[in-house]
């Protein structure tokens, strides 16, 4: 028998001058006459981390049921459509963030579970973070082993918190104990990092603005590819390209609004939406594109910096976030903090909705991803690091079932969760930081 079908390479790119557009997973990428020939290619696993600053009003965060959940808490209510892919874990702790406990250590210990060296200078030291351990294994063959993203465009320097260098507060991800990885908050620069690969950054920006769309650069490759695909793959490619164009359109709109505005914010680079919600959603959409094109499989995203004084009128709260968290037990202030928490979670829910709507193989991007959303601080009023607000979402390519609330009787290392998440994406270690073992409830499917 002569086999004429030839699979398209998984790493195929649509190429144009100064740009490379990765393809989503297609049926045509499955080798002919293999066990997978009639089905989509085996899905890859992705790992993401979303950081919420300054803890939470835990009473409003914690679900009312332990074990199998049928409903979520007020703060987590926006995640209800994804209840069966959500696991809440209560009473996790970051012991190494106490030194003393503060904003800087809450942030830097979240992914490292390590003790930061107390210094205001450049001799800072921490540990390799969990996302970077994953990137070394599951991200090594991707164009970008990992992506580090944030919402705050300006970082601070010097001493930020109780004698700790601002580097600890600015950076979630560290590729080594002495190498923090700066996060990018500018949507245009993230877009160029994903799709631009020719010339200097300034040259790529100039070409993009002149040529209007990256899709114009690769139009010849798009036409050629579509002629090789079946109807299902053509639809999938068209949907992906439309997503790319829509994200690009929103970036261009933000650039135009900033350029044409009567009172431009001189501290904000061109291309950043004025609305926090639009900025956050655009950053989440870029993450979806990065995952869909398999540009990267590991992402960290800081929704706001620790000690941020941002206000959230969208959530009905006009008080600056950080001062409000020092509520001294005032019920009204705690309720407003809970509103901010719920608002941040609703943005995470938006991310889940986009992943859930993006088909991949026999499932969705959400089915094949594993996402941790939470904070390195518990009760912000006292800067503690116990009973952290933590939620895990996604299916980890069939390796994780949700719909449950795991609550420990005694404080348990957050590092146990990191060790378990690594295991779920195929990175098997005996220990991570101060871990005491994996979370057994996550190692087996949930009881129905």
Most confident of 147-151, 189-193, 247-251: 147-151
What residue segments make up the domains of the chain, in order of their start? 47-185+277-443, 186-271
Residue 162: its pLDDT value, please? Answer: 73
Give the HSE-up count for residue 65: Cα atoms under 13 Å, Cβ half-sphere. 10
pLDDT-wise least confident of 210-224, 270-284, 342-356? 210-224
Residue 350: its pLDDT value, please? Answer: 98
Report the alpha-carbon distance of residue 333 to residue 329 in Å, rounded: 8
Report the alpha-carbon distance of residue 182 to residue 180 in Å, rounded: 6
pLDDT-wise least confident of 69-83, 208-222, 234-248? 208-222
Q: Give the model confidence (pLDDT) of 321-379 as tens digits.
A: 999 999 999 999 999 999 999 999 999 999 999 999 999 888 999 999 999 999 999 99
Residue 257: its pLDDT value, please? Answer: 59
Q: Bridge partners of 161?
A: 164
Question: Tokens 């507060």 map to which residue?
Answer: 169
Q: How far apart are the first and last CA of the chain?
A: 47
Query: In Å, how far are 77, 133, 312, 403, 414 from 342, measured between CA atoms?
Result: 8, 30, 11, 19, 22
Closest CA to 19 of 184, 189, 192, 209: 192
User: In angstroms, how far is CA 322 from the centroid of its own chain?
Assistant: 23
Report the alpha-carbon distance of residue 279 to residue 269 in Å, rounded: 13
Closest CA to 191 of 122, 289, 281, 264: 289
CATH classification code of 47-185+277-443 = 3.40.720.10
Average pLDDT of the residues of the chain: 83
């Amino acid at each position: 028998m002569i086999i004429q079908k030839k699979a398209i390479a998984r790493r195929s790119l649509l190429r144009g001058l100064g740009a490379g557009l990765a393809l989503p997973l297609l049926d045509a990428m499955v080798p002919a006459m293999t066990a997978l020939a009639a089905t989509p290619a085996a899905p890859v696993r992705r790992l993401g981390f979303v950081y919420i600053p300054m803890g939470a009003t835990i009473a409003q965060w914690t679900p009312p049921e332990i074990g199998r959940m049928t409903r979520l808490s007020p703060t987590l209510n926006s995640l209800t459509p994804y209840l069966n892919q959500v696991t809440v874990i209560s009473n996790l702790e970051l012991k190494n963030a106490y030194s003393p406990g503060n904003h800087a250590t809450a942030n830097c210990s979240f992914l490292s579970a390590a003790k930061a060296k107390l210094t205001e200078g450049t001799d800072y030291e921490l540990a390799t973070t969990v996302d970077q351990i994953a990137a070394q294994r599951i991200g090594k063959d991707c164009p970008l082993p990992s992506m580090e993203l944030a919402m705050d465009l300006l970082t601070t320097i010097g001493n930020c918190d109780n004698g700790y260098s601002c580097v600890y507060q600015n950076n979630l991800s560290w590729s080594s104990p002495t190498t923090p990885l700066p996060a990018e908050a500018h949507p245009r620069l993230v877009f160029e990092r994903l799709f631009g690969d020719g010339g200097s950054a300034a040259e790529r920006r100039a070409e993009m603005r002149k040529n209007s769309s990256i899709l114009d650069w690769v139009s010849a490759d798009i036409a050629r590819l579509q002629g090789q695909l079946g109807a299902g793959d053509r639809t999938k490619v068209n949907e992906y390209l439309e997503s790319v164009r829509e994200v690009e359109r929103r970036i261009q709109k933000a650039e135009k609004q900033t350029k044409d505005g009567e009172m431009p914010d001189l501290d904000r680079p061109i291309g950043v939406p004025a609305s926090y919600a639009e900025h956050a959603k655009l950053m989440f959409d870029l993450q979806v594109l990065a995952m869909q094109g398999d540009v990267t499989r590991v992402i960290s995203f800081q929704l706001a910096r620790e000690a941020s004084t941002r206000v959230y009128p969208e959530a009905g709260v006009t008080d600056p976030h950080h001062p409000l968290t020092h509520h001294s037990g005032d019920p009204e202030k705690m309720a407003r903090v809970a509103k901010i928490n719920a608002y941040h979670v609703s943005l995470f829910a938006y991310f889940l909705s986009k992943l859930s709507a993006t088909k991949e193989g026999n499932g969705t991007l959400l089915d094949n991803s594993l996402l941790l959303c939470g904070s390195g601080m518990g009760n912000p009023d006292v800067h503690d690091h116990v009973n952290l607000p933590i939620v895990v979402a996604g299916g980890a390519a069939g390796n994780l079932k949700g719909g449950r609330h795991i609550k420990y009787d005694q404080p348990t290392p957050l590092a146990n969760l990191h060790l378990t998440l690594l295991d779920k994406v195929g990175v098997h270690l005996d220990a991570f930081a101060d871990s005491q073992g994996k979370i057994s409830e996550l190692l087996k499917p949930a009881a129905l």
